[in-house]
Amino acid sequence: MAAPGSPPPRRAPSLTAALLTIGAVVAVIVAGISLQRGINATFFPLLVATGLVGIVGLALGNPWTTIEDGVFRGAASVTIAIVVLLLIGALVGLWILSGTIPSLLYYGLQLMSPAFFLPTAFLVCCVTSLTIGSSFGTIAVAGVALIGVQTGFAASAPITAGAIIGGAYFGDKMSPLSDSTNVAAAIGETDLFSHIRSMVYTTFPATLLVLALLWIAGSTADASEAGAVSATMLDGLRVNWNASWIHLLPAGIMLALAAWRLPAVPMLFLSVVLAAVWAMVFQDASLTTVFSAATSGYVAQTGVDALDAVLTRGGMSAMSAVVLLVLLAAALGGALEVVGILDRLVKGLLDRIRSTGSLIVAVLASCYTVILLTGNQMLAIILPGQMFLPAFRRRGIEGRVLTRTLEDAGTISAPMVPWSVAGAYATQMLGVPTLDYLPYMWFAFLVPVFSVLYGFTGFAVWRTSEAS
């Protein structure tokens, strides 16, 4: 019995309390998004949602200091992500100034065909992300240039963004260099390459369907309109940047550093320094101009409106909204975790599992729930992985089936959530709001379909008694 005057003992939330809390959090965030568009729309709703979770935690007997520590731990967990975002902001501004992104755009407009642009953009991002193992790096290297090619070809910006992001996350889940690929394999206590081979069964059929859909979407392109716009943009690129193959070297060096498995922060820092030197040597940029492009972004003044819209971007300050969003979402995730809401939801799912198919669906649902509530891709892999691994073992299902399912939802669904790091980053870099490109995230929609299909049919669901 508690001593007189002592605080009430801490209680675990009931499933009803957890569902009501989640309902309130989602309602607040959705209300904020419905009232205004853009990244800023989620700032105040995330703050209010964190406060609501704190109130629930207090009602369950958690000391305020415990809730506060959870919030701070959540925010602290994204420190490296924030540094990466700021470095990418600086790199994009400098890559435009130095001629790297303009040269990528220049050759993209010359070498690509409007009719095949969408599937080509998807494949380019697949190859790039598979090489470097980074969705963020792929969007910075190839995505910005491809969104410029989209402008020149008068293609749909939302569909192009969906193709770019889908290709970027292809490698994020399939590359042995990817953090999420390694984390998922580790959580499921599975050999890395066994995990990757398992993902082939769901990823490759979805990839073929995406290519077909993108080919159909791009086959109606107006070649005459595309030719007129791209010709004007090419003239502007020739005059203002002296586009050349040599300016692609900084991007190639960054890809090589990533393939060499140099950690993200030193890799990006070296790329920023190289881009700054490149701008001063090849574009006669002053040190003041270099600092301005890295800090505030590049402002294009070519006289070609379409080109100026594409190449006015980058800079560390442009990432300030994304950084704030990341901190607020991480704080909410920390509060939900320390109060026990996420843990209770996953256990509630486990209690209702009756078949292998429903187990696969439960893993997918839990990944979506975590990414929706926290905006944290890694947490969407780690938490469900830890919770469901014993259930897979009890059923005699190999860990690589679990790790594949975690990536089929937790990894590739991240950019679908406006308040996630991935969603905010993609919107900032490509200039397309999350809710606009969301319907065209065909890769993220199709991969889980195969997960569920295999779960209920038993195909590619290996048992521990079977040989690999």
The single residue listed with the structure tokens 């609501």 is: 52
The answer as to whether 186 is a domain residue is: yes
The amino acid at 433: P
Please, what sign has the CA dihedral across residues 262, 195, 404, 392?
Answer: negative
User: Which H or E run includes 35?
Assistant: helix 15-35
- What per-residue confidence (pLDDT) applies to 240? 83
- What per-residue confidence (pLDDT) applies to 1? 45
- What per-residue confidence (pLDDT) applies to 235? 81
Q: How many CA atoms lie within 13 A of 254 on its CB side?
A: 31
Q: How far is CA 9 from CA 12, 95, 132, 341, in A?
A: 10, 56, 49, 17
The single residue listed with the structure tokens 């470097």 is: 132
* Residue numbers of the domain that contains 279: 79-319
Taking only the tens of pLDDT, the chain with its 468 residues reads 444 554 556 778 888 898 899 889 888 888 887 777 666 777 888 899 999 999 999 999 999 999 999 999 888 877 887 888 899 889 989 999 998 888 888 888 887 888 888 999 999 899 888 877 788 888 987 888 888 888 878 788 999 999 999 999 998 899 887 878 888 888 888 888 899 999 999 999 999 999 999 999 987 665 555 556 677 788 888 888 877 889 989 988 987 887 787 887 898 899 999 999 999 999 899 999 999 999 999 998 888 877 888 888 889 998 888 888 878 888 888 898 899 887 888 777 777 788 899 999 999 998 998 888 877 788 788 878 877 888 898 889 999 999 999 999 999 999 999 888 889 889 988 989 999 999 999 999 999 999 999 999 999 999 986 444
Buried b (16+ CB within 10 A) or exposed e, 334-373: bbbbbbbbbbbbbebbeeebeebbbbbbbbbbbbbbbbbb
Return phi, psi of residue 198, to 5°.
-65, -40
Angle of helix 264-282 relative to helix 287-296, nearest 10 degrees, comes to: 140
Q: What is the pTM of this model?
A: 0.79
CA 207, CA 447: separation in Å to the nearest integer? Answer: 8
The answer as to whether 393 is a domain residue is: no
- What per-residue confidence (pLDDT) applies to 110? 82
Instruction: Quote the DSSP letter at residue 416.
Output: G
The answer as to whether 399 is a domain residue is: no
The first and second tokens of residue 88, run together, are 């990418």
End-to-end CA distance of the chain: 54
CA 123, CA 105: separation in Å to the nearest integer? Answer: 16
The answer as to whether 325 is a domain residue is: no
- What per-residue confidence (pLDDT) applies to 467? 40
The answer as to whether 263 is a domain residue is: yes
Q: How many domains in the chain?
A: 1
The first and second tokens of residue 434, run together, are 């999350």
**Chain centroid to CA 293:** 25
Closest by CA position to 417, among listed 379, 368, 451, 363: 368
Q: How far is CA 132 from CA 57, 120, 169, 202, 277, in A?
A: 41, 18, 11, 21, 23
The single residue listed with the structure tokens 């220049």 is: 106
- What per-residue confidence (pLDDT) applies to 2? 47
The answer as to whether 176 is a domain residue is: yes
- The answer to whether the beta carbons of residues 410 and 196 sit under 8 Å apart is no
Return phi, psi of residue 204, to 5°.
-70, -45
The answer as to whether 312 is a domain residue is: yes
CA 360, CA 109: separation in Å to the nearest integer? Answer: 43
CA 352, CA 360: separation in Å to the nearest integer? Answer: 12
CA 229, CA 155: separation in Å to the nearest integer? Answer: 11
- The answer to whether the beta carbons of residues 112 and 149 sit under 8 Å apart is yes
The first and second tokens of residue 438, run together, are 């969301």
The answer as to whether 120 is a domain residue is: yes
**Chain centroid to CA 154:** 25
User: Strand, coil or helix: what is 313?
Assistant: strand
CA 439, CA 125: separation in Å to the nearest integer? Answer: 19
